[in-house]
Amino acid sequence: MLFCIVSILFLSGHVDGVRMGRELHNRTNAGLSPERVHQLVTFGAARPGTDQLRNNAKSGFCFDGYRFVNQDSLKVDVVPTLGQETWAWSHPLMESIKVNSNSEYWSYKCGTNGLAPRVPSVLLHLSSEYLKRLSTVSLANEVTMNGLAISYKDSASTIEPLLSSGWTLLGTTTHDEDKCNLVKKGGQCILTFSGTDDWDDWYTNLGLWPISFCNLGINKIHSGFAGELMSVVTSSGYKSRIKPHLSSCSHLTVTGHSMGGAIAAIFAACANNANAAVGNSDFEQIRWW
């Protein structure tokens, strides 16, 4: 199935930012929600919504943070392109960064993504490739690198040696092979979601029907990613080892690679949608305050 998708994408080319023609200045800024997620950072993330997910806690509706994509002159990470051939799925409103094999990068402001045909590549999607390329990129600070380095780890013995000085592990949990970790330095926290690492996750990636979620309005969410997020946040491990610590974070960054990036974006959009979503069952499961 994956090879069929790659073939379709090769024919369609790499068309990014299908919603970039929508003018951000036409959006109203009335009734902003409290900001619970302060930064969103993703790596090779899949497209989570039928429209660009909005940060309803910020004027302009753009998430602070970066959407990193490995892209060379002829090839691009395959996962961020999935769904583009239908013109039905979009990336969140946030700045995107394209990084090549020489660790050179190009920045595209919120709502734009730089259109250029590329051959989709599975090898460019590997989390190890992101770690290698971003290791010398100035934008990739310790928050960015810590989040990426630990997102697939599931124990203190594997997480703590990877953390920069001063960072401590608050909690880790695994549910159906999906890892979720929370680390902290001072009042700053990083919440990580793991991505596509088994065949069940590839099945989730292909769950392309749109559903309503967290009162996000006309924007419908990828059913597979929404289901994956809810299975994590409703698990006993998350509720006992992650959620109780979130209230101690004065600044929260949510991050993930691949499917984990899509899950992180949905989590951030829902958490920052309090004014519209209070009482919604999805929101009530995600909220920690």
pLDDT at residue number 162: 97
- pLDDT at position 196: 67
**What is the pLDDT, as a whole number, of residue 86?**
54
pLDDT for 209:
84
Q: Which pTM does this prediction carry? A: 0.88
- For the chain, domains (ranges, CATH) are 38-286 (3.40.50)
SS3 (DSSP) at 207: coil
Question: Which of 238-244's residues contact partners 24+ apart within 8 Å by CB, and which partners?
Answer: 238/173, 238/175, 238/180, 241/171, 241/172, 241/173, 242/170, 242/171, 242/172, 242/173, 242/180, 242/181, 242/182, 242/191, 243/288, 244/288
Q: Which residues of the chain have pLDDT under 50?
A: 1-29, 198-204
pLDDT tens figures, 35-56: 999 999 999 999 999 999 999 9
pLDDT at 114: 72
H or E element, residue 279: none
Q: Give the Cα separation of 153 and 160 in Å (integer).
A: 10
pLDDT at 176: 87
- pLDDT on residue 84: 61
